[in-house]
Structure formats: C-alpha cells, structure tokens
Amino acid sequence: MKWVISNEFDAFDLDDTTYSLEDFYTKSVDSRGHKEVIRVTFPPNVLSALSTIVQSGKIPAYRTVQDAIRDAVLHRIWWLEKYALKESYGIIDYKSLKMIKLQQFIENSLKEGQRMEAIITNAEKTLEYHKGLRDKEEMIRVLNELRDQIENVREPFKERLKNIIERFEYIEKEDS
C-alpha cells in the first residue's frame, strides 16, 4: 500500500488510471493546482469518528479531518462512476448495484478466509520453528497471543487455532 499524501505539487485527478482502492487520496488540488472550497455538515458522531481516526495517527495520510473526507469522497465517486451509474432510463441501475454488492461480499469473504488460512498456517509454522530452536519462552509468548486473540476469530478457524494451542501447550508444563 502506498501513501498518497496531499500537497500542492502532488495532485490527483479522477480520471487517473493509477487509482487503487488501497491508496489514500487526500490532495486538495487537481493537477493544475485548481481547487474549489465547499461547506458540508455532518452529524456530530461522524465528525467524532473521523477525528478519532485522524488523532490516532494510524493512518499517516490523514493529517486532518478534511484529508479523510476528501479520501472518502474520491473513493465513492470512483466507485459510482465505475459500477453504479449505469445509464438505465437516466437512473441508477439498482439490480446491478445488488449484484455488485454480492460480488464484493463474496470477494471479501474469500479474502477473509484466505487471510485466516495464512494466520493458522503461520501460527503453526512459528510454533514449529521455535520448537526446533528449543525457544520455550517464544513459544509461550505465541501461545498466549493466540489465546488473547482467539475470541476475535470465527468458526471454523477458531477450532483450528484451539487445536494448535492444545497441541503445543505441553511446553508450558515442561520444567525449564
């Protein structure tokens, strides 16, 4: 993922062929340095959520609430132009929108499953690796982290992680 940070010399245009959903677009000017100032209102809870995200510092591209808003608006415009604004009697083609939503759900479900498979595989490989090194301390640390996070995992992946924990928890009972 690349961070696309705003400044006067690094502008983004909507027709840019390098658009990526994973990137952050926070620039306030187009490629010619043009900009328009608009005023919008939001419910307090939305602004509070945006402020929390910005203040967390977890997204370096979001230096201000305005950066986050520009990014969100640009992504929605891109999505609407690419998927939603089909010319069907001059209105949005809602049947297509439902299919796009289904497609996105299926793609996200697949990605989540693949991500969980990778976590399970890597957890097991990590424990085996440290077992080979006879690094009991690190094995215990990994087991504790798995236990701490297992409630955030859904079935059937949770059961598989539990099995890994059970298979390796003998290390905690061994004498040093």
One domain for residues 8 and 77: yes
Nearest CA-CA partner of 14 in 27, 6, 130, 22: 27
User: Is the residue at 108 inside a domain?
Assistant: yes
**Cα distance between residue 21 and residue 115, in whole Å:** 18
Among candidate residues 54, 56, 58, 48, the one with its CA nearest the CA of residue 66: 54
pTM, to two decimals:
0.47
pLDDT in tens, 122-140: 999 999 999 999 999 999 9
Same domain membership, residue 52 and residue 119:
no
Which of 84, 107, 131 corresponds to the end of one domain? Answer: 84
Q: 5 by DSSP, 3-state: which?
A: coil
Residue 119 inside a domain? The answer is yes
Distance (Å, whole) CA 52 – CA 103: 31
Task: Please state the domain count of the chain.
Answer: 2
Kindly state whether residues 10 and 79 are assigned to the same domain. Answer: yes
89 occurs within a structural domain:
no
139 and 101 together in one domain: yes
The count of other CB atoms within 10 Å of the CB of residue 53 is 14
Residue ranges making up the domain that contains 17 = 3-84
Based on the number of CB atoms within 10 Å of its own CB, is 2 exposed (0-12), middle (13-18) or buried (19 or more)? Answer: exposed
Residues 159 and 124 in one domain: yes
- Could you tell me which residue, 16 or 132, shows the higher pLDDT? 132
**Of 29, 52, 84, at which residue does a domain stop?**
84
Are residue 100 and residue 159 in the same domain, yes or no? yes
17-67 pLDDT tens trace: 667 777 788 888 777 778 888 888 888 999 999 999 999 988 888 999 998
The reply to whether 134 and 166 lie within a common domain is yes
Q: Is the pLDDT of residue 152 over 60?
A: yes
- Tens-digit pLDDT profile for residues 56-98: 988 888 999 998 998 888 888 777 776 666 554 345 566 666 7
User: Which of residues 84, 111, 137 is at a domain's end?
Assistant: 84
